[in-house]
């Protein structure tokens, strides 16, 4: 095993001091390879040393402009720091450089959503859903985005999918209840799902509020 592999093993063993030592050796041995900087940057980010992590990840991108994982890791750092526009640009670079899996698409969609560009988020949330239709957070975020554009027929089956897998998902109940309330005459179903939401999660005040509003109207 090389120093990078040993460093990752040390992280898995929660021996972070050893990981720092090993990634340092990896960089010293191959200072022109991006991977050591990426691994060290990710380790620093996990230790909340964000400024140092940013420098290491930027160095990795300078060494390899196609290092998709460097773009993705720095995008995550910026997203957590609420630097959503910068995060979006980096998630796009990660995707264009071939990063695999749904996460980058999902986070790009979330970044657009955070900057008020929900319409731009839709195709990326859809792609994340296509790549992993079992992830309840991806499904919920995509369904909410669809519903925000009154695409209720598309959102409803996705919310139902979530509840088939997780019967006590309060957020899915809430959003399905709201969907029925605003897009159908099925008040009974709306009230049922809203009540489920605040029964499962007693602090779900918004669900209780909407439930009571509908009850008063009927």
- Alpha helices by DSSP H, listed for 81-204, are 84-96, 103-114, 118-131, 136-148, 152-165, 170-183, 187-200
CB-based contacts of 109, cutoff 8 Å, min separation 6: 121, 122, 124, 125, 128, 141, 142, 145
Note the pLDDT of residue 217: 79
* Terminal alpha carbon distance of the chain: 69
Residue 1 pLDDT > 80, yes or no?
A: no
Note the pLDDT of residue 55: 97
pLDDT tens, residue by residue, 74-100: 999 999 999 999 999 999 999 999 999
pLDDT tens, residue by residue, 104-154: 999 999 999 999 998 999 999 999 999 999 999 999 999 999 999 999 999
Cβ–Cβ < 8 Å for 75, 87: yes
pLDDT tens, residue by residue, 175-216: 999 999 999 999 999 999 999 999 999 999 999 999 999 988
Domains defined along the chain, listed by start: 150-218 (1.25.40.10)
Rounded to whole angstroms, the Cα distance separating 10 from 192 reads 49
């Amino acid at each position: 095993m090389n120093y990078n592999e040993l460093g990752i093993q040390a992280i898995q063993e929660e021996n972070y001091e050893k990981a720092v030592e090993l990634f340092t050796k990896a960089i010293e041995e191959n200072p022109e390879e991006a991977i050591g900087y990426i691994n060290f940057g990710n380790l620093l980010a996990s230790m909340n040393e964000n400024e140092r992590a940013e420098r290491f990840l930027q160095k990795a991108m300078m060494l390899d402009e196609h290092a998709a994982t460097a773009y993705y890791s720095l995008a995550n750092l910026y997203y957590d720091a609420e630097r959503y526009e910068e995060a979006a640009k980096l998630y796009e670079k990660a995707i264009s450089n071939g990063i695999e899996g749904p996460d980058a698409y999902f986070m790009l969609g979330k970044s657009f959503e955070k900057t008020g560009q929900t319409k731009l988020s839709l195709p990326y949330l859809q792609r994340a859903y296509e790549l992993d239709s079992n992830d309840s957070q991806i499904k919920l975020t995509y369904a909410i985005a669809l519903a925000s554009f009154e695409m209720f027929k598309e959102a409803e089956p996705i919310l139902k999918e979530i509840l088939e897998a997780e019967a006590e998902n309060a957020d899915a109940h809430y959003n399905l209840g709201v969907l029925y309330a605003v897009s159908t005459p099925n008040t009974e179903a709306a009230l049922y799902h809203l009540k489920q939401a605040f029964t499962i999660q007693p602090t779900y005040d918004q669900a209780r509020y909407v439930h009571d509003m509908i009850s008063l109207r009927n």
